[in-house]
Structure 1
Amino acid sequence: MEYWQPEVETLERGALRELQLKRLKKTVNSVYDNVPFYNKKFKELNIRPEDIKTLDDIKKLPFTKKNDLRENYPFGLFAVPMSKVNRIHASSGTSGKSTVVGYTKNDLDVWANLMARCFFMAGVRPGDIFQNAANYGLFTGGLGIHAGAEKLGCTVVPSGTGSTEKQIEMIRDFGVTVLHCTPSYALYIAETAKKLGYEPGSLPLRIGLFGAEPWSINTRKELERSFWIRAYDSYGLSEMMGPGVAFECTEQNGLHIWEDAFIVEILDKNDEPCAPGEKGELVLTTLCKEALPIIRYRTGDITTIDDEKCSCGRTSVKISKFFGRADDMLIVRGLNVFPSQIEHVLMEMPEVGEHFQVVLERVNHLDEMTVKVEMSDRAFSGELGDLKKVTNAVAGKLKSSLNLRTKVVLVEKGSLQRFEGKSKKVIDLRTSI
């Protein structure tokens, strides 16, 4: 099967909306008839499935939050009997009960198909050797990415995480052309490769697919410079299915969301629709899921929408790189701060590296924020005068961007802990006091 699918990917907006409405009605009927949680919600709002006559009627439907999945743990939101569930994935549960998601055989086929579309859109082709350096197991990034790459016709190397030198050996010896992992782990792989004597461009890679954590345009430049590749952003969340909800095309200027599978809303703080280009929370409704259909899921991700037709030819709307997550947002002295803002500032400064860590403490009842950042080995001599100058420069840039006084500590390159999965950039000690 060819994974450039113009009959869907270039569908005119009117026809696309008709398809969405047909699938939305089916989804609404499914949750009303089969999921007690939604049946109760609908009755509380005095709505029935037949009240959904247009796409605009979606605003009549209830929101779903992550906590709703936790409160219905493990299978309370499933719309099919367990005999029809072919696979289960779950979050780690580090901030509460795990969120459990289920898939029918058809769900798995749809997921693999969407993933294959994503990869094709980013330039991956049948015959590419695809190394998946993501966690396998309950985490959706392992098997989800793997199935899509196989569906497309790639040769898949299921390397998983860890053993970084072995990862590099496989890339070299197997002729790996496509790498998937978190951007922070990719930077660590690049750093390790350099220590092993590999020059940029000496590995066979040509495409990098990165996701699972926020990363900036400057991180893209660093990755592309380190590997001599094209680096593409991806977006997914297990509640929707996993990775593959949205992906960059070769234009690299926004992530296409597959609107034949999801209805996209960007809502302001009053839950009203945002205009294109206006920041708001991404809210998603599934249109093709059988085991776990979800209505108006509040992702917590802050983004903007672009409804202009992309020059790649695809007609699905695009979302911008995320400005942060509502649930990752830091409130420091009454100000909202996103780690991605800090990363953006640091990546514009050649004096420091791309690795940093934010430490939040409460001192004399006031919030104090310390940013530890690794020094660049090529920027300055290391003399005390230079160190102070760079420290002041970083602190000044952060204050200008965040409108917040920040303590900056420069540390040696390689001294901050590296992570093979999602990086842990924030240590909040305020709650432990």
Structure 2
Amino acid sequence: MTFNETAFPTAQSTLQTQKLRQLLVYLKQNSPFYQQLFKQHNVDIDSIKTLADLSTLPFTTKEDLQQRNNDFLCVSRDKIIEYASTSGTLGSPVTIALTDNDLDRLAVNEYHSFACADGSATDVYQLMLTLDRQFMAGIAYYSGLRKMGAGIVRLGPGVPSLQWETIQRLKPTAIVGVPSFILKLIQFAHAHGIDVNQSSVKKAICIGENIRNTDFSYNILGKRITEAWDIQLYSTYASTEMQTAFTECCARQGGHLQPDLLIVELLDDDNQPVLPHVPGEVTITTLGVEGMPLLRYKTGDICMYDDDTCTCGRNTLRLSPIIGRKKQMIKFKGTTLYPPAMFDLLNEIEEVIDFVVEVYCNDIGLDEVILHLLPAEHTEAADRKIRAYLQARLRVSPGIKYVSLAEIQKMQFPEASRKAIKFIDKRV
């Protein structure tokens, strides 16, 4: 890929407009879903001449993908090389079919993502994440690192003892993993006399969880990791549907868009563009995808953007950490809550080892919240401290249920789950 990330926005806009028009022709010719959608909304693709014209096109939703998954396929089944699927966090999983060209595009995406996060061919990355079960991220990271020429240790998730044994034996320079698991690595190391700062690992690509606040300062998870381990952390944001990642650079002021692979809009509740630094729903249009391209797909993720030139020299739009998911927003006793903010709060409480947040509707249709907590010590004093802290920070008092280690693990890892579940939404 030869796209220049330091190019002026006008050059990016020209490229994206060209690719958008190619996408519209491709969808009209090959996508059963978009053929019907265009007909239903009287879409004249020849009228789309600029990126501003994108706003005249209809949206695609998660429900569309769930209900009509196969109608999004633009190639014959013999062209499909890989079947990936979403985790099903917000409903039934969605299958994303990739062609050989899509896998190449995925590799290019992650090659540039790792390069953005100061990676190079001299690095060795230990992959502490799911590499099977149709998980796109696993094959994406592996393919991108191969393209970069870096060393790869495919160890998979969990088992701190094996992770440390492998680190000590193979001397990786970087790890890719979930931040809360990195914290468990630190805790294991301290308990077993391992000096994390004497290890070979100097940086971590953090996936699946926020390590920063929206002002890019470290949240409690990021603080706990960096206070114990002198390690460089890089945030990422991606989804199976977009087949693209936003990754932090050395400036750590947001994840960089790859404008040759994706068009991104941030929209308010009225589907109008928001200004920089104002929360909006991430809405994406994939560029260069062959198997299952998407047009104006509403991800449900809420974040902010900045389009000023980054100190790293890139002129690409940057996304803040995800504030929350639109469908996961909780209205509890007059207060608006998002699960990620509650996770940050619970991570701050020393008396809480682990947790699951559950929301359900009461008998009059209002949101109710119950926190399933694994306490460090189940005492009255600890309970009072936890409740007082939550009341002070949230200004409301959610229900609390203390659970055992076995109970919390059963809730977080139901059968076939690829990652720990921290939020259970039982609202109809």
Is the structural similarity TM-score above 0.5?
yes
The residue type paired with residue 321 of structure 1 is P
Q: Label 1:389 to 1:199 Cα distance change in 2 as closer, same or farther (>3 A).
A: farther
Alignment of 1:26-175 (within 5 A): 26-74=22-70, 76-93=71-88, 96-137=91-132, 138-175=134-171
Distance in 1 (CA, whole Å) between partners of 2:190 and 2:21 is 54
1:398 maps to 393
Distance in 1 (CA, whole Å) between partners of 2:311 and 2:224 is 25
CA shift, 1:373, in A, is 4.7
Structure 1: 5+ residue stretches without partners: none
1:332 maps to 332
1:344 maps to 344
Alignment of 1:195-214 (within 5 A): 195-214=191-210
2:225 maps to 223
CA shift, 1:161, in A, is 2.0
Distance in 1 (CA, whole Å) between partners of 2:92 and 2:347 is 35
Q: Label 1:67 to 1:254 Cα distance change in 2 as closer, same or farther (>3 A).
A: same
Q: Label 1:310 to 1:354 Cα distance change in 2 as closer, same or farther (>3 A).
A: farther
The residue type paired with residue 94 of structure 2 is T
**Do 1:346 and 1:394's aligned partners in 2 also have CA atoms closer than 8 Å?**
no
CA shift, 1:50, in A, is 0.7
Distance in 1 (CA, whole Å) between partners of 2:91 and 2:404 is 35
**Do 1:356 and 1:372's aligned partners in 2 also have CA atoms closer than 8 Å?**
yes
CA shift, 1:332, in A, is 3.0
The residue type paired with residue 284 of structure 2 is L
**1:225-267 C-alpha deviation (Å, 9 max, x unpaired):** 33321111111111111xx420111111211111121111000
CA shift, 1:214, in A, is 4.1
CA shift, 1:10, in A, is 0.7
Of residues 410, 422, 425, the one that matches 1:425 is 422
Distance in 2 (CA, whole Å) between partners of 1:20 and 1:201 is 44
Distance in 1 (CA, whole Å) between partners of 2:92 and 2:277 is 35
**Do 2:330 and 2:337's aligned partners in 1 also have CA atoms closer than 8 Å?**
yes
**1:65-93 C-alpha deviation (Å, 9 max, x unpaired):** 1222222234x212222233222212245
SS of the residue corresponding to residue 190 of structure 1 reads helix
Identical-residue share of aligned pairs (%)? 29
The residue type paired with residue 194 of structure 1 is H
- Of residues 296-305 and 417-426 in structure 1, the stretch that sits farther from structure 2 once superposed is 417-426
- The aligned length equals 415
Structure 2: 5+ residue stretches without partners: 213-218
- Of residues 229-238 and 214-223 in structure 1, the stretch that sits farther from structure 2 once superposed is 214-223
**1:378-408 C-alpha deviation (Å, 9 max, x unpaired):** xxxx9855x35523431233333xxx22345
Residue 285 (str. 1) matches residue 281 (str. 2): no
**1:181-204 C-alpha deviation (Å, 9 max, x unpaired):** 222222222222222222331322
CA shift, 1:370, in A, is 3.4
**1:22-59 C-alpha deviation (Å, 9 max, x unpaired):** 00000011001111211111122212221111110101
Alignment of 1:219-298 (within 5 A): 219-241=221-243, 244-298=244-298
Distance in 2 (CA, whole Å) between partners of 1:337 and 1:250 is 31
2:215 maps to none
Distance in 2 (CA, whole Å) between partners of 1:221 and 1:339 is 19
**1:160-209 C-alpha deviation (Å, 9 max, x unpaired):** 12333112211121101111122222222222222222233132211111
**Do 2:81 and 2:98's aligned partners in 1 also have CA atoms closer than 8 Å?**
yes
**Do 2:285 and 2:296's aligned partners in 1 also have CA atoms closer than 8 Å?**
yes
**Do 1:127 and 1:155's aligned partners in 2 also have CA atoms closer than 8 Å?**
yes
**Do 1:111 and 1:148's aligned partners in 2 also have CA atoms closer than 8 Å?**
yes
CA shift, 1:99, in A, is 1.2
**Do 1:214 and 1:324's aligned partners in 2 also have CA atoms closer than 8 Å?**
no
SS of the residue corresponding to residue 8 of structure 1 reads coil
Two-structure CA RMSD over aligned residues (Å): 2.8
Distance in 2 (CA, whole Å) between partners of 1:88 and 1:240 is 14
**Do 1:281 and 1:302's aligned partners in 2 also have CA atoms closer than 8 Å?**
yes
**1:126-177 C-alpha deviation (Å, 9 max, x unpaired):** 1211111211221111111111111111111111123331122111211011
SS of the residue corresponding to residue 171 of structure 1 reads helix
**Do 1:395 and 1:408's aligned partners in 2 also have CA atoms closer than 8 Å?**
no
The residue type paired with residue 325 of structure 1 is R
The residue type paired with residue 111 of structure 1 is L
The residue type paired with residue 356 of structure 2 is Q
**1:79-125 C-alpha deviation (Å, 9 max, x unpaired):** 22223322221224576543111222222112111101111111121
**Do 2:236 and 2:248's aligned partners in 1 also have CA atoms closer than 8 Å?**
yes
1:312 maps to 312
- Of residues 361-370 and 78-87 in structure 1, the stretch that sits farther from structure 2 once superposed is 361-370
CA shift, 1:315, in A, is 0.8
Q: Label 1:78 to 1:367 Cα distance change in 2 as closer, same or farther (>3 A).
A: closer
Distance in 1 (CA, whole Å) between partners of 2:360 and 2:333 is 11
The residue type paired with residue 357 of structure 2 is V
- In the superposition, the TM-score normalised over structure 1's length comes to 0.87
**1:311-357 C-alpha deviation (Å, 9 max, x unpaired):** 011111011101111133234346432111113334455x4457333
